[in-house]
Amino acid sequence: MIYSKESGPFALIIFGGSGDLSYQKIYPALYDIAEKGHLPEDYAIIATGRKYTQEEFYNFFEHSLTSDNRHHKHSVENAIFKSLEKHMYFYQGDNTDPNFYTGLSKYLDKLVKEGLPCGNRLFYAGVPQSLYQTVFANIKKSRLNKSPCGWARVVIEKPIGEDEASAKKLDKIITSTFTEDQIFRLDHYLGKETLENVLVFRFKNNIFEPMLNGNNLDHIQITSSEDFSIAKRGKFYNATGALKDVGQNHILQMLAIATMEQPKDDSDEAMIGERIKLVKSLTANPKDIVYGQYAAGVVHGKDAIAYRQEASVPKDSQTDTFFAMKVNVNNERFKNVPVYIRAGKQMAMWLTEISYVFKGKDPYRNVLTIRVQPNEGIAVKLFTKKPGLEIKVEPTYMQFCYKHYFPGEAFDAYEKLVQDVFAGRHTFFNISKEVEAQWRFIDSLSKNRTPTRFYKAGSWGPKEAFALIEKDGRKWLEPYPAFCQI
């Protein structure tokens, strides 16, 4: 279900409209939606912030689409850009000032008087969570949380809170202004095409799902590595770290989708319920987690500074930019099938994948790998006979590659999830109980931390991460370099 010309007018109000999230993710997603013709004739996108005049904002918006951005690689058509720009507005002000909200309410009324039909209302909370109390209280006080002519909804970005207790406090703030059906807690990993396809691959086919269990699997591996630094996020990142930044959300989402039971139907409730059930079944020994931090090194032939040399990072910081851990799924299907997870920044390559490693004398002969990014696809590692008179075997791969079967049909995760919000579909968003279950698991580990180890930028992490898996007689998989590059 998508938002379309028949769906009626809307106003999208972006708090933090001059920030990095809007620049990197939201504006490119809105362009892609417009490019596909999924916006109605009448709508308004109102960015809010302290920085810009209307003209300066137009320049900021254009630059967000035309600058180098790994999330938005294709060209921008001038006609579509100009059409979208006509619907873009910038409301300047300080969102910590209560008068900002009464002024915003009057501004929305003014747009209606000038010809924008009264319609649905969507808020995007792209601001620090320390401002939530002020923002949501004033949205409610000024009655912005209700639209006189349609629905009103709000999008909240991950991570929500820094532990289970703070997540509950934030949830109380949010639900004091919006009801649960109005709230969309966004983790963009749930919008990734390949991750959504894991569910189809597992539950709509009869080949592999019967084999994905403790009778046939030796273990599962999840790798989520990035070949870039924290950039300008030093203040946020140093207070958060890798485990809380991506472990609590991205990684647990992937693990849940890779190992959850089949929902009874395709409803939001059934899908989310199985994810929650899976997360609640997870256990891990705090001693089976390795925390790492990147030191100076070389990434793709270029010198890289250490984390402690990044802007706004203390010189003695112990914050983790990497973690590796062993997790157990305590259900009947995956009993005795350990899951090894590693994730971090400034590593050897940019890669996210899930690998099911099958049992055998050499368990690494047969591996089912789902590549989430880049070169999205699914591959099965098999051994086949080489041509010739002698019986010689070598590893080969059977592959399904998105870019080959569906060229030109790629959907960015934010594009898909914004469409889902318009459509009122919660399947690939978190509810409060899911967020709390995720934090409960992460809290049990972060409260009993092992020391932070160091690894060279451009490597696959600290040596202790290799020892973690090797002590069980296993090894980290080498990523297949030709994955979906035929």
Which residues are identified as catalytic?
A: 250
* In 95-181, alpha helices (H): 98-113, 132-141, 164-175
SS3 letters across 11-29:
EEEEECCCCHHHHHHHHHH
Dihedral sign for Cα 273, 278, 281, 283, please: negative
Distances (CA, A) of 164 to 39, 124, 440: 38, 23, 6
Structure tokens at 24: 């990197």
Query: Roughly what angle, to the nearest 10 degrees, separates helices 54-66 and 78-85?
Result: 150
DSSP 169-217: HHHHHHHTTS-GGGEEEE-GGGG-HHHHHHHHHHHS-SSSGGGSSTTTE
- Dist CA 331 CA 33 (whole Å): 40
Residues near 278 by Cβ (< 8 Å), separated by ≥ 6? 255, 256, 259, 260, 261, 329, 331
Structure tokens at 415: 């594009």
Tell me 459's DSSP state: B
Contact 43, 87 (CB under 8 A): yes
- Residue 98 dihedral angles phi and psi, to the nearest 5°: -55, -30
